[in-house]
Amino acid sequence: MSNESVSSAEAAFAAPATTAATLATYSVVGMTCAHCVASVTEELSELPAVTAVAVDLNVGGESSVTVTSSAPLSEDDVRAAITEAGYELAATRR
């Protein structure tokens, strides 16, 4: 098998091009436990385009919530999701 045919075969199985992800980090007030983290993660995950949510819990202070999405999110939508979970959006730190 020549190098040329190997390259063609590899190209046929190459991963498809991916779109760039959008990352945004938010400060959330009022979270105190793993249940809080789960609630915020669940509500944010329901927003269209959200692909991942990571929470850095800071009990007694502002927790950092990083949202990965396939398109930019409206701050109003993020605020509504966090409010629905029972917490307050303090700031956006994109």
In this prediction, residue 92 has a pLDDT band, given cuts at 50, 70 and 90, of confident
Nearest to 61 by CA among 18, 91, 22: 91
pLDDT of 83 over the 90 cut: yes
* Domain count within the chain: 1
**Position 10 in a domain:** no
pLDDT of residue 91: 78
**Position 13 in a domain:** no
The pLDDT tens digits for 49-67 are 999 999 999 998 999 999 9
The pLDDT tens digits for 4-41 are 544 444 444 444 455 678 999 999 999 999 999 999 99
pLDDT of 1 over the 70 cut: no
Radius of gyration of the chain, Cα coordinates, nearest whole angstrom: 19
Q: What is the CATH number of the domain that holds 45?
A: 3.30.70.100
**Position 6 in a domain:** no
DSSP assignment of 6-48: HHHHHHHTPPPP-PPPEEEEEEEES--SHHHHHHHHHHHHTST
